[in-house]
Structure 1
C-alpha cells in the first residue's frame, strides 16, 4: 500500500486520450469530498509552475500520470491511481493496486499501457471505463 497522501490530490493527465479522460472523469464523478483536482495537460501551450519547479516536463506528465498532494509531495504512475481510487470510495481496487505482490508487476505494466493508451482507446476501452466508474445519481424525489 502506498504512503498516505494529503488531499486534495492534484492529478495531471492527458484529457486528449479517451481512456484517460473516461477513467479520471469517472473517478471524479464519485469524488464526494473534492479529494481530486484534475488538470488537463494536453492543451496547446500548457504550462504549470508546480510541474516546472519539480523538473517535470509537460511531455513527462503526458507520458506518465503525475499528481501532487496538499503537502506538496509528488506521486506518479500506479501510485496515483491507487490514491485516486481509494479517495473515491473504491477501496478494493485501491488495495489491489497497492498490493505488495502485485505492485511490482503493475509498475512494470503501466508504462506499456500508458504508451499505448490511444490505441487501447480505439479498441473501445473508454466507454467500458465510463460505464464502470461513473456513479449513477439517484433522483431523491423518486421512491422505490
Structure 2
C-alpha cells in the first residue's frame, strides 16, 4: 500500500471514482477506507471523520497526509491513468482547481443526484464496501 484513501462511500460519484481507481490498481498500491464504517474512529483516530467528509483525505505509506485534489492526483498517478489531472496541481491552475474542488465536495450529493439520479448510496445501489475488499 502506497496510498490509503479515506472517502465517503455514500456519495455515488465518490464511490464510482474509487471503483475506477481500484480497477486500474493492478499493483495494489491503493487502499480504500470508507469514512462511514462503524469502527472508523477507532481504526483511524488521527483522521477526523467530519473533516474527511468535507475534503478528501489520504495518507502515504510514510504517514504524510494529503488533502483534496492532491489525493486525486497522487492516486491517478499511481495507477498511470488520467494524466491531465496532474495539470490541476500546477501553480497556474492549483488555486482555481482547489476552490472548484471545495465547491464540488460541499455539494457532492446534489451533484450526484443531478448526474446519476442518486443522491446517496446504500449497499445495494453502489456496492459500498464490498467491491474493494
TM-score, with normalisation over the residues of structure 2? 0.79
Aligned to 2:52: 61
**Larger Cα Rg: Structure 1 or Structure 2?**
1
Q: 1:104 to 1:28 in 2, by over 3 A?
A: same
Match of 1:37 among 19, 25, 31: 31
Q: Distance in 2 between matches of 1:59 and 1:20?
A: 16
CA RMSD, 1 decimal: 2.0
- For structure 1, the 5+ residue unaligned runs are 1-6, 128-144
Q: Distance in 2 between matches of 1:74 and 1:62?
A: 15
Aligned to 1:19: 13
The number of equivalent residue pairs is 118
Aligned partners of 1:64 and 1:76 also within 8 Å: yes
- For structure 2, the 5+ residue unaligned runs are 119-133
| Deviation at residue 87 of structure 1 after TM alignment | 0.8
TM-score, with normalisation over the residues of structure 1? 0.74
Post-superposition Cα deviations, 1:58-84, rounded to whole Å, max 9, x if no partner, equal: 111111110000111110011000101
**4+ residue stretches of structure 1 with deviation over 6 A?**
none
